[in-house]
Amino acid sequence: MKQIESQLKNLRKIRPDKGFALMCREDLLSSTVVKPGIDLWRNLGLSLSLALTAMLVVFVAQNAAVSSYSIASLEKFEEETTLSRDQINITLAEINYHSDLASKTSMALSEAAAEGPSHLNQNLLMKEAESLKIDSAPDNVDILLDQVIL
Amino acid sequence: MLEDERNLIIRAKGGEAEAFGLLYDEYLPKIYRFVLLKTGHREEAEDLTHQVFLQAWRNIRNYDDRGYPFSSWLYRIAKNLVVDYYRRLRPNVSLEDCRVFPADEVDPETDLDLSRETEKLARAVGKLRDTEQTVVIMRFVDELSIKETAAAIEKSEGAVKLIQHRAIQKLKKLMTEEK
CA dihedral for A59, A60, A63, A69, sign (positive or negative):
negative
Per-residue pLDDT, B108: 47
pLDDT over 80 (residue A28): yes
Per-residue pLDDT, A136: 62
Q: Which of B32, B33, B53 sits opposite A28 (nearest CB)?
A: B53
Q: Provide ipTM, 2 decimals.
A: 0.75
Neighboring chain A residues of B13 at a CB cutoff of 8 Å = 36
Q: DSSP class of residue B142? A: S
Per-residue pLDDT, A113: 81
Name the helix (H) or strand (E) containing B152.
Answer: helix B146-153
What are the b/e assignments for B105-115, b being 16+ CB within 10 Å? ebebeebbebe
Q: What is the pLDDT of residues A33-91, one digit of tens each?
A: 655 555 555 566 777 788 888 888 887 877 766 666 666 777 877 888 887 888 888 88
Neighboring chain A residues of B119 at a CB cutoff of 8 Å = none
Q: A8 vs B121: CB contact, 8 Å cut-off?
A: yes
CATH of the domain at B53: 1.10.1740.10
B21 touches chain A (CB under 8 A): yes
Q: B141 vs A12: CB contact, 8 Å cut-off?
A: yes
Per-residue 3-state assignment (H helix, E strand, C coil) for chain A: CHHHHHHHHHHHHCCCCHHHHHHHHHHHHHCCCCCHHHHHHHHHHHHHHHHHHHHHHHHHHHHHHHHHHHHHHHHHHHHHHHHHHHHHHHHHHHHHHHHHHHHHHHHHHHHHHHHCCHHHCHHHHHHHHHHHCCCCCCCCHHHHHHHHHC
Q: DSSP class of residue B145? A: -
Q: DSSP class of residue B154? A: T
Per-residue pLDDT, A117: 62
Q: A11 vs B33: CB contact, 8 Å cut-off?
A: yes
Q: Profile chain B (179 residues) by mean pLDDT over runs of 10 residues.
A: 80 91 94 89 92 94 80 92 86 44 44 66 86 92 90 92 93 82
Per-residue pLDDT, A44: 66
What are the b/e assignments for A134-146, b being 16+ CB within 10 Å? eeeeeeeeeeeee
Concatenating the DSSP letter of every residue in B71-130 gives HHHHHHHHHHHHHHHHHHH-TTS-TTTS-SS-GGG--TTTT----HHHHHHHHHHHTS-H
Q: Which of A9, A14, A28 sits opposite B24 (nearest CB)?
A: A28
User: Cα–Cα distance between A5 and B104 in angstroms, integer?
Assistant: 23
Would you say B171 and B67 are in contact if contact means Cβ atoms under 8 Å apart? no
Q: What is the pLDDT of residues A80-132, one digit of tens each?
A: 888 788 888 888 888 888 888 888 888 888 887 877 666 667 777 778 777 77
Per-residue pLDDT, B110: 45
When divided into structural domains, chain B yields a total of 1
Collapsed DSSP state (helix, strand, coil) of residue B39: helix
pLDDT band, very low/low/confident/very high, at A134 (cuts 50, 70, 90): low
Per-residue pLDDT, A142: 84
- Counting one residue from chain A and one from chain B, the pairs whose CB atoms sit within 8 A come to 98
Closest CA in chain A for residue B18: A29
Per-residue pLDDT, B120: 81
Question: In this predicted model, which residue has the larger pLDDT, A65 or A17?
Answer: A17
A→B contacts (Cβ < 8 Å), by residue, are: 1, 4-5, 7-17, 20-21, 24-25, 27-29, 31, 33-37, 39
The residue count for chain B: 179
Give Cα separations from A18 to A25, B25, B30 (angstroms).
11, 11, 14
Domain of B68 in residue numbering reads as 3-178
Q: Any idea of the CA torsion for B83, B87, B89, B92, to the nearest 10 degrees?
A: 140
Per-residue pLDDT, A34: 53
Q: B37 vs A21: CB contact, 8 Å cut-off?
A: no
Concatenating the DSSP letter of every residue in B46-82 gives HHHHHHHHHHHHHTGGG---SS--HHHHHHHHHHHHH
Would you say B170 and A42 are in contact if contact means Cβ atoms under 8 Å apart? no
